[in-house]
């Protein structure tokens, strides 16, 4: 990969994706939904546990969404993107480690620890995304952004392999059973996240701001005023506004599938082992696919590549709503792996085209706010559709077989409802391109 950049800074930046993707893979997409349904929310019906998980995801995302824009403004004012990233990454790894200690049946404490970890994970990503303009000039950002996601898939996938081995063969690691292995998997994620963040700390350098310091209240007021100005400018630039609305919609679908896929698979009868293997497929296909999307963007343009990824995700949603066989889930994992890194990387780098110099964290704060608001709506939307569908479909005096069948059908309706977000995202992206022309 020929890059016109400081290679050490690029690799230090990309290694943070390697570090924090362990949380996204092992915790968010993998073992937390599995453990939450089978251990922490033991005894609840499948649709209720899905709703609890969805509402927990949404609450954490809402808090990040509200804070991200102001934090971004402050980070730009004091050139503290790297510092603020570190101040969130380490508390996030600590919250992840605390999942190890949450006892069986205590779903409330599990949601709290998970929510804190997710808030720190998502908040740190505001500053990580903003550092892209520090480590790479505009011509190289599509490829550098894709490198970051590729490293995330590889790093998260390697630890996930180890975690799956721990769960499948706990005796190899001196552990009593699979339950204990999952708890130690959470601890391994915390250590991985904290340890590999050191590369970003040492190799990425950010110029210090020479602006005079102000007190905390003054900083907050400046942040709020600057955010207001940023939103005003975005509304005047119609192509940027339409792109952000498009991103909000299609990333709603992407994030919801990431966070709810394992829970959905369990609800319709797949085993935890099937789902873990499918997630591994996503990780290791996602690694080369993210790099390929970075190269394809040079030939086709980033927007066309994003359209292709949206179409792939729409197909995933339709297929997922009707799948019944184990092989169907693996095919879906392959398709998701092909498009997931590409849509994330190119959305991030394409957005930098709208950012004025010196305001990357401010603009990425707004970018991530919309992304997190989409994550507020998506999981909760799936949960609500599932609960409403269950209520509509449930007969007056159901048998145990009817309870099972209705629960599965309601879950299918819930996951199928995500399609509306991909359709809206594609239409808004098309409108953004037309306006830009």
100-115 pLDDT, tens digit each? 988 877 777 888 899 8
User: What are the residue boundaries of the structural domains of the chain, listed by start?
Assistant: 7-204+235-436
Q: From CA 122, how far away is CA 136, in angstroms rounded?
A: 22
Instruction: Choose from 65-79, 149-163, 213-227 the range with maximum mean pLDDT.
Output: 149-163
Q: Which of 109-113, 200-204, 220-224 has the lowest mean pLDDT?
A: 220-224
Closest by alpha carbon to 136, among 300, 11, 293? Answer: 11
- Please compute the mean of the pLDDT values over residues 154-179 and round it to a whole number: 90
The Cβ-side half-sphere exposure at 235, using a 13 Å CA radius, reads 6
Residue 311 confidence (pLDDT) above 70: yes
In this prediction, residue 85 carries a pLDDT of: 92
| Torsion sign (Cα): 380, 385, 391, 394 | negative
Q: Kindly state the DSSP code that residue 176 receives in the 8-state scheme.
A: S
Please give the share of the chain, as a percent, with pLDDT higher than 90: 21
- Please compute the mean of the pLDDT values over residues 288-305 and round it to a whole number: 86
Residue 187 phi, psi dihedral angles, 5° rounding: -65, -40
Residue 295 confidence (pLDDT) above 90: no
Q: Contact at 8 Å (CB) between 37 and 263?
A: yes
The model's pLDDT over 403-414, given as tens digits with 9 standing for 90+, comes to 767 776 777 777
- 295 burial class (0-12, 13-18, 19+ CB within 10 angstroms)? middle
Q: Which of 88-92, 175-179, 188-192, 370-374 has the lowest mean pLDDT?
A: 370-374
Higher pLDDT: 376 or 285? It is: 285
Q: Which two tokens stand for residue 109?
A: 């404490």
In this prediction, residue 413 carries a pLDDT of: 79
Higher pLDDT: 125 or 97? It is: 97
Q: From CA 114, how far away is CA 66, in angstroms rounded?
A: 18
Residue bearing tokens 């239409």: 427
Distance of alpha carbon 62 from the chain centroid: 14
Q: From CA 147, how far away is CA 354, in angstroms rounded?
A: 21
Q: From CA 285, how far away is CA 339, in angstroms rounded?
A: 9
Q: Contact at 8 Å (CB) between 229 and 12?
A: no
The Cβ-side half-sphere exposure at 339, using a 13 Å CA radius, reads 25
Top-tier CATH class for 7-204+235-436? mainly alpha
Rg value, the chain, Cα: 21
Sequence-ordered list of residues with C-beta below 8 angstroms from that of 186, at least 6 positions apart, any chain: 26, 27, 31, 32, 96, 97, 99, 100
pLDDT class for 178, splitting at 50, 70, 90? confident
Residue 368 confidence (pLDDT) above 90: no
Residue 380 confidence (pLDDT) above 90: no
Q: Contact at 8 Å (CB) between 143 and 3?
A: yes
Characterize 383-413 residue by residue with b for buried, 16 or more Cβ atoms within 10 angstroms of its Cβ, and e for exposed.
bebbbebbeeeeeeeeeeeeeeebbbebbbb
Q: Contact at 8 Å (CB) between 140 and 82?
A: no
């Amino acid at each position: 990969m020929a890059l016109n950049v400081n290679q050490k800074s690029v690799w230090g930046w990309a290694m943070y994706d390697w570090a924090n993707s362990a949380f996204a893979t092992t915790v968010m997409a993998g073992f937390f939904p599995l453990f939450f349904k089978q251990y922490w929310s033991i005894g609840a019906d499948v649709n209720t546990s899905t709703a609890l998980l969805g509402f927990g995801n949404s609450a954490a995302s809402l808090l990040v969404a509200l804070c991200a824009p102001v934090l971004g403004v402050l980070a730009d004012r004091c050139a503290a993107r790297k510092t603020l990233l570190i101040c969130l990454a380490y508390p996030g790894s600590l919250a992840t480690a605390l999942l190890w200690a949450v006892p069986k049946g205590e779903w409330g404490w599990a949601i709290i620890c998970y929510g804190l970890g997710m808030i720190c994970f998502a908040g740190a990503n505001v500053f990580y995304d903003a550092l892209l303009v520090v480590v790479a000039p505009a011509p190289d950002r599509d490829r550098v952004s894709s490198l970051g996601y590729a490293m995330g898939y590889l790093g998260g996938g390697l630890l996930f392999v180890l975690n799956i081995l721990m769960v499948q063969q706990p005796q190899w690691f001196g552990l009593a059973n699979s339950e204990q292995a999952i708890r130690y998997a959470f601890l391994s994620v915390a250590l991985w996240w904290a340890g590999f963040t050191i590369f970003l700390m040492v190799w990425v350098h950010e110029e210090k701001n020479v602006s005079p310091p102000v007190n905390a209240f003054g900083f907050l007021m400046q942040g709020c005023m600057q955010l207001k100005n940023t939103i005003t400018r975005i509304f005047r630039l119609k192509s940027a506004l339409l792109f952000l609305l498009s991103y909000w919609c299609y990333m709603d679908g992407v994030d919801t599938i990431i966070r709810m896929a394992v829970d959905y698979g369990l609800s319709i009868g797949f085993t935890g082992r099937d789902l873990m293997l499918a997630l591994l497929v996503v990780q290791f296909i996602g690694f080369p696919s993210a790099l390929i999307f970075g190269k394809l963007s040079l030939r086709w343009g980033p927007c066309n590549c994003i359209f292709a990824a949206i179409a792939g995700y729409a197909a995933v949603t339709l297929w997922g709503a009707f799948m019944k066989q184990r092989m169907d889930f693996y095919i879906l994992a392959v398709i998701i792996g092909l498009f997931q890194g590409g849509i994330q990387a190119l959305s991030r780098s394409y957005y930098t085209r709208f950012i004025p110099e010196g305001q990357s964290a401010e603009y990425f704060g707004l970018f991530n706010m919309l992304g997190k608001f989409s994550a507020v709506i998506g999981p909760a939307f799936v949960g609500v559709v599932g609960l409403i569908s269950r209520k509509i479909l449930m007969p007056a005096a159901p048998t145990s077989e009817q309870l099972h069948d209705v629960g599965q059908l309601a879950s299918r309706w819930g996951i199928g409802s995500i399609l509306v977000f991909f359709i809206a995202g594609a239409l808004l992206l098309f409108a953004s391109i037309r306006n830009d022309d």
